[in-house]
Amino acid sequence: MLPTLPLWLYLLFGLTTALAVGLFYLAAHRSGRALAVVLAWLLVQSALSLSGFYTVTTAMPPRLAFALGPPLLLLLSRLATARGRAFLASLRLAMLTLLHVVRLPVELGLYGLFLHGAVPRIMTFEGGNWDILMGLSAPLLYWLVRRQRVGRWGLVGWNVLGLGLLSNIVAVAVLSAPSPVQRLAFEQPNVALLHFPFGWLPAVLVPLVLLAHVAALWQLLGKSALLQRARPASPIA
């Protein structure tokens, strides 16, 4: 059961989700199709959360898999096809970098949820979740990318670090949520993500952050990076 929470937490997660979607829209060169896919998924997840779908904690596999699974499969399908890889290569690198700024309000929101008993301490920066560092450093990296003052390998390292931090918090969130696979935080489980609008975190925010990392690494290390050696870098603004 979700504890009584202050209005600002609901607003924070709503506005953070809107910011992430907006930054992705800009990274995708204002693609109406890309925006429509994200908004449709957002509406589906909103309906599921509001219906109480995720509050059924005895199902196997855990119902949070329906939030994380489809976006992950979609991303894998993008990597598996030439058209999908071309889409990843076309995204604006600077905007992909700036998108990670949303991790700052997310971590502040998680801390607020912890203080109100809706998530465990281990999901916050106070409990060893250092994902907030990506949100704090994103504006600086964005500035460096825009001015081409950061080397390829420096940006690769930053994205790899971000992937590691993201993987850590996702694993902790899943293992601390009430379900047959729960292994952590039984005294104060992760119940917030089972409810609207906090379910947008695993269903929308995490996939967009993951996409930003994967697309950036594809551009920096994939075939597109090889092509850039023979010609000026593609637009990164």
Alpha-carbon distance of 207 to 88, in angstroms, equals: 14
Q: Residue 230 pLDDT > 80, yes or no?
A: no
Burial category of 34 from C-beta neighbours within 10 Å (exposed 0-12, middle 13-18, buried 19 and up): middle
> Rounded to whole angstroms, how far apart are CA atoms 94 and 145?
6
Q: What is the Cα–Cα distance from 114 to 109, expressed in whole angstroms?
A: 9
| 159-200 confidence digits (pLDDT tens) | 999 999 999 999 999 999 999 999 999 999 999 999 999 999
Q: For 46, list phi and psi in degrees, rounded to 5.
A: -65, -45
Coil, strand or helix at 214: helix
**pLDDT, tens digit, 9 for 90 and up, residues 70-129:** 999 999 999 999 999 999 999 999 999 999 999 999 999 999 999 999 999 999 999 999
pLDDT at 225: 54
pTM of the model: 0.93
Q: State how far Cα 185 lies from the chain centre.
A: 22
Give Cα separations from 2 to 82, 106, 184, 188 (angstroms).
44, 18, 18, 11
What does the pLDDT look like over 11-70, one tens digit per residue? 999 999 999 999 999 999 999 999 999 999 999 999 999 999 999 999 999 999 999 999
Please state the domain extents for the chain. 7-228
Q: Is residue 232's pLDDT more than 60?
A: no
Please report the pLDDT score of residue 223 as a whole number: 55
Q: Which helix (H) or strand (E) segment is 71 a member of? A: helix 65-80
d(CA 183, CA 198) in angstroms, rounded, equals 21
Give the gyration radius of the chain's Cα atoms.
18
State the sign of the Cα–Cα–Cα–Cα dihedral 188, 200, 160, 74: positive
Q: Quick one: 204 exposed, middle or buried, by C-beta within 10 A (0-12, 13-18, 19+)?
A: buried
* Residue 51 identity (one-letter amino acid): S
Asked if 221 contacts 160 with a C-beta cutoff of 8 angstroms, the reply is no
E strands, the chain, where?
Answer: none
State the Cα–Cα distance between residues 22 and 44, nearest whole angstrom: 18
